[in-house]
Structure 1
Amino acid sequence: MRGELLTIGAFARASRLSPKALRLYDELELLRPARVDPYSGYRYYAVEQLRQARLVAWLRRLGMPLAEIRAVCALGRAERDGGTPGRRLGEDAAREIRAYWARVEAETAVRRDLAAFLVDQLTGESRRDSTTMLELRYSARSDRGQVRPANQDAVYAGRRLLAVADGFGPAGAPVSSAAVEALRFLDEEEVGAGGLLNVLEDAVRGAGEAVRDLAADGGKENGTTLTALLWTGSKLALVHIGDSRAYLLRDGELFRITHDHSVVQSLIDEGRLTPEEAESHPQRTLLLKALTGDAAPVPDLRLHEARAGDRYLLCSDGLTRVVADERIGELLAAAPDPEGGVRSLVDEANAAGGPDNVSCVVADVVLPAPEAAVG
């Protein structure tokens, strides 16, 4: 019956929240009792509060932090106070829950990739002798574009290391160059699967230190993205920070294998923005992760099994902001070799106005050439 009050014990059983949790939520002003006895301090709850209490219980089972639960519950309080109609508030609450779960899934994906990376480290070394060793054929190109007065991108392509960095700020050019330079030693050293993770972590840490030495006043005014692939002969290990990208063209189909660390990408993930809206969003250049004067962020790490015939692309956002993924796939598939691939991609970006520096590295995975017969 509406208006009926329940004791804290009865309310706990009905809502599936413990009395201890109810007392905590009262202290946090998340779920206040309808009445508190002034003499005994005993709490009483209204039947109408069961809906909110059950919502809190389910959100806690999802693992949602209390601060975010408070925001969702505030929508319900607005409805009771005569605000927006219930359907609209229900949609708003549902949007908040979708946004939270999208963040959980993104974080879980990163941890899943890291777990797979570690499992491969622990088990892959014993299989290495029976693995077909492959080689890379590669090409790189960086262009100032049609608008920018200087090129702040840096690229590198070698027999083991491929890298792209997109600098920003007054010292963007030396910062991006320093980040790539800090990884170049990887191209000279044979790295087995067993030590790959530690080597990449150390390399990114070194890149972060190099950037901090150049960044103005140790702040975020200057910084750079960093996306690199390290070749082991049968696998490619990916390290990624920022919104430069890596793609894989396999069997004629293009796959993006990095996730942008940007404000607009987080809004897309949370369902607050469509990809079409993101193209003109005023915050489309803002990054959530980059190498700056602050402590180096945790990079994304992935390990890819390479196949003969694969074609990889690393590029700065000077390409992806003006050339659609579908067109990138067409140009990559049509290019006869990596050199032709980087040339056609850079030319396409410049033909589209070239509003930013554009840099590309294209690498083909191939079988090694047979050794010459000894007569």
Structure 2
Amino acid sequence: MNQDAAFTAPWGAAVADGVGGGPAGDLASAAFVHRLAAGRVGAVEPEALATSVRAANWDLRAHVERDVTLSGMATTFTGLFVSSAGDLLLAHTGDSRAYRLRDAALVQQSRDDSLVQALLEQGLVSAEDALAHPHRNIITASLGGRERDAASVDVHEARIGDRWMLCSDGLTDYVPEAEIHAMLAWHADPAVAARACVELALTAGTHDNVTVVVCDVLPDSGADAGETAGTAFYGSAAVRFMEGL
């Protein structure tokens, strides 16, 4: 079962990974991503993005209230959106990741909400040991329709020529960053680069779903960012919600 969901559009993109061990992770990721993308199109203010995240999170709560067997379902979320001020907004919760390739350097821009990340920051485990830690899949934040749920929203410069990658942990838990860096730097076409990263994870024998979205920052084409053309859903979102935007 694919519990990952994603969408891409000229104005934004996101990856969500249904939390393993809970019920209906595929529904959680799909419902959240679809509600977020279908409910708001175009450039956005940080406060409006936070509001859209809350609305999509409450949509998960509505599913649970209709069907009590879904209680406990949740998803991670990492999204990149064009702001109305011309910057980029990175929204995040959980352990799906965002990386930025700039001037040949690949740097993680999101912080994992995970037990192992907390141990790393406290100096209790090394970076090398964290890669094989038995509890590396335990996350400390997710979205499941709860009142306390939230996603961080950070502002980043939209520099022409930057390349961003959003991915589920099916990639980063199994493929070293150096290999991911090589694929992102080698392939000029973002779709080809995304596919190459997925193939790396499959070759490495990943035991998890793998979703990779690659976004290039391009000059303004003058097109209306609110148009739905070029918007698509992937993974569980594409399977469960066929009506599009």
Q: Same fold (TM over 0.5)?
A: yes
1:175 aligns with 2:24: no
Opposite residue 212 of structure 1, the aligned amino acid is R
Checking the alignment, whether the CA contact within 8 Å between 2:75 and 2:143 is kept in structure 1 is: yes
Compute the displacement of 1:272 (Å): 0.6
The alpha-carbon distance between structure 1 residues 327 and 220, as it changes in their structure 2 partners (threshold 3 A), is farther
Aligned to 2:81: 230
Residues 33-87 of structure 1 deviation map (CA, whole Å, 9 limit, x = unaligned):
xxxxxxxxxxxxxxxxxxxxxxxxxxxxxxxxxxxxxxxxxxxxxxxxxxxxxxx
Q: Which has the higher contact order (CA 8 A, sep 6+)?
A: 2
1:321 and 1:366 map into 2 onto residues whose CA distance is: 30
Aligned to 2:41: 188
The alpha-carbon distance between structure 1 residues 308 and 350, as it changes in their structure 2 partners (threshold 3 A), is same
The aligned runs of 1:1-375 (5 Å cut-off) are 150-168=1-19, 169-185=22-38, 188-191=41-44, 196-215=45-64, 217=68, 221-232=72-83, 234-368=86-220
Q: Could you state the TM-score of these two structures normalised by the residue count of structure 1?
A: 0.55
SS at match of 1:175: helix
Checking the alignment, whether the CA contact within 8 Å between 2:40 and 2:52 is kept in structure 1 is: no
The alpha-carbon distance between structure 1 residues 185 and 219, as it changes in their structure 2 partners (threshold 3 A), is closer
**% identity of equivalent residues:** 39
The alpha-carbon distance between structure 1 residues 267 and 218, as it changes in their structure 2 partners (threshold 3 A), is farther
2:26 and 2:70 map into 1 onto residues whose CA distance is: 16
2:110 and 2:34 map into 1 onto residues whose CA distance is: 22
Compute the displacement of 1:280 (Å): 2.3
1:368 and 1:190 map into 2 onto residues whose CA distance is: 12
2:38 and 2:156 map into 1 onto residues whose CA distance is: 21
SS at match of 1:207: helix
Comparing 312-321 with 181-190, which one deviates more in the overlay? Answer: 181-190
1:228 and 1:296 map into 2 onto residues whose CA distance is: 19
Compute the displacement of 1:297 (Å): 2.3
Residues 260-297 of structure 1 deviation map (CA, whole Å, 9 limit, x = unaligned):
00011000010011122222222211111001243242
Query: Which ranges of structure 1 fall in alignment gaps of 5 or more residues?
Result: 1-149
Compute the displacement of 1:210 (Å): 1.7
1:254 and 1:210 map into 2 onto residues whose CA distance is: 35
Aligned to 1:143: none
The alpha-carbon distance between structure 1 residues 213 and 369, as it changes in their structure 2 partners (threshold 3 A), is closer
Checking the alignment, whether the CA contact within 8 Å between 1:267 and 1:273 is kept in structure 2 is: yes
Checking the alignment, whether the CA contact within 8 Å between 1:159 and 1:187 is kept in structure 2 is: no
Residues 7-41 of structure 1 deviation map (CA, whole Å, 9 limit, x = unaligned):
xxxxxxxxxxxxxxxxxxxxxxxxxxxxxxxxxxx
Compute the displacement of 1:220 (Å): 6.7
1:165 and 1:315 map into 2 onto residues whose CA distance is: 8
SS at match of 2:18: strand
Checking the alignment, whether the CA contact within 8 Å between 2:63 and 2:70 is kept in structure 1 is: no
Compute the displacement of 1:219 (Å): 8.2
Q: Could you state the TM-score of these two structures normalised by the residue count of structure 2?
A: 0.82
Opposite residue 286 of structure 1, the aligned amino acid is I
Cα-Cα RMSD: 2.1
1:369 and 1:200 map into 2 onto residues whose CA distance is: 23
